[in-house]
Structure 1
Amino acid sequence: MELGYARSSVDDPELKEQLEVLRSYKCGYVFQDMNVEKVSKKEVQNLINNLNKGDSIVVCRFDRITNSIREVINLSVELEKREVNFVSIEENVDTRKDNSFYHVMRNLYKFEQDIKSEKVKIGLKKSRARGRNGGRPKVINNKVAKALEMYDSREYTIEEIVKETNVSQATLYRRIKEREEKKSDG
């Protein structure tokens, strides 16, 4: 089924031109967004929720359904995963006939993810160079030693040990497990 998406613009505030074009593409239903300034995420999500495998989304232009290149890329990746076709009339994109658009968008998506990953790695490396390792601060060893001592005495509950020593329950269990593993190895 062909599902259209139309969003009003300064040139077409009542959607007349878009609706006419989308009807010529035999759209069974046209989702309409009357917001001139930006795409309604709610209405786009409503459209996506109504898609079935093999359906097609038809728009007059990319900027009717997205606000940025990033959104075009993310939308196309989502549609390809759902096995849904995408038609943008003005840009002459029709994945029903040629899937190369999805291939290009998938590569741009991967490119963007690789750039983000590289930036994170660079940031972490710079932080480590400044002496910051990230993550939760390490618990002072004497606190952990006291917590383990209390645990070994069998006089305190875990909750009491955590409250008394300010060592988290997760840290306490992790250290108990590490200690037991050392005993079994050695």
Structure 2
Amino acid sequence: MLIGYTRISKADGSQVTDLQYDALIDAGVEAEAIYEDRASGKQEDRVGLANCLKALRPGDVLVVWKLDRLGRNLHHLINTVHDLTRRGIGLKVLSGHGATIDTTTPAGKLVFGIFAALAEFERELITERTIAGLASARARGRKGGRPFKMTPSKVRLALAAMGQAETKISDLCKELGITRQTLYRHVSPNGELRPDGKKILKGVMHFG
């Protein structure tokens, strides 16, 4: 079953959900299966979204007009979609930058997997830079140090990039903060997961 969700930022009537509503109807969502909120995306307590998520059952698909209608922020969005996936529920985005996301299809799962990996990678970079800054403050003038280790998000990004003709290994290693030897120890040149990479991903969400 298709379940729709719409949200507008103001509750005073200055914005309307007609565009979102019509898009959901055109996508096959029944009118009575559309939930609505009139609140800021940053607001945590959204009754319409809460009721929508409760109504979803395994096999259902949540349909939204754009990604920004669903999540308060990137972290909240990814957690929401991971929870839907865990419950056996799909997500389909109709327009905007997330229009390629349809987690009911293999390609859609891959797109969101890369999307989530990028967000995780960004968080890890921030953490690593913070740690490096603190270490530098404690040891003025000290140089060197071992490269950052591989992490689940780095393995996922390497999997997505390796095997692509346009990927430059030196640029990829620089972006991930690892050596070429470390990269090849986890992912093969044609994008296949190697034993060390499998160990990194063991116990976390399966890629793709």
TM-score (norm 2): 0.49
Match status 1:94 vs 2:102: yes
CA shift digits 1:61-103 (9 cap, x unpaired): 1122234444433333333333321111013232223322222
Q: For this pair of structures, how many residues does the alignment match?
A: 129
**Equivalent residue number for residue 107 of structure 1:** 117
* Letter paired with 2:89: V
Note the alpha carbon deviations across 1:32-79, whole angstroms, 9 max, x for none.
0112x4354333343333332222111111122234444433333333
Q: Tell me which moved more, 87-96 or 119-128.
A: 119-128
**Offset of 1:111 from its aligned partner?**
0.8
Instruction: Determine which structure has the larger helix proportion and give its number.
Output: 1
Paired residue secondary structure (1:42): coil
CA–CA separation in structure 2 for the residues paired with 1:115 and 1:73? 18
Is the contact between residue 77 and residue 106 of structure 1 (CA under 8 Å) also seen in structure 2? no
2:35/2:52 contact within 8 Å kept: yes
CA RMSD of aligned residues (A): 3.1
Q: Distance in 2 between matches of 1:106 and 1:88?
A: 15
* Structure 2: distance between partners of 1:14 and 1:111: 36
Which SS does the other structure have where 2:63 is aligned?
strand
Note the residue ranges of structure 1 that are not aligned, 5 or more in a row.
131-186
Q: Does the 8 Å CA contact 2:42/2:73 hold for their aligned counterparts?
A: no
1:62 aligns with 2:67: yes
User: Identity, % of aligned pairs?
Assistant: 24
Shift of 1:119: 3.8
* Alignment correspondent of 2:22: 20
Q: TM-score, normalised by structure 1?
A: 0.54
Q: What CA distance in whole angstroms lies between the structure 1 residues aligned with 2:5 and 2:54?
A: 13
For 1:116 and 1:51, the matched residues in 2 are separated by 35
Q: Which has the larger radius of gyration?
A: 1
Counterpart residue number, 2:38: 34
**Which residue identity lines up with residue 58 of structure 1 in the other structure?**
V
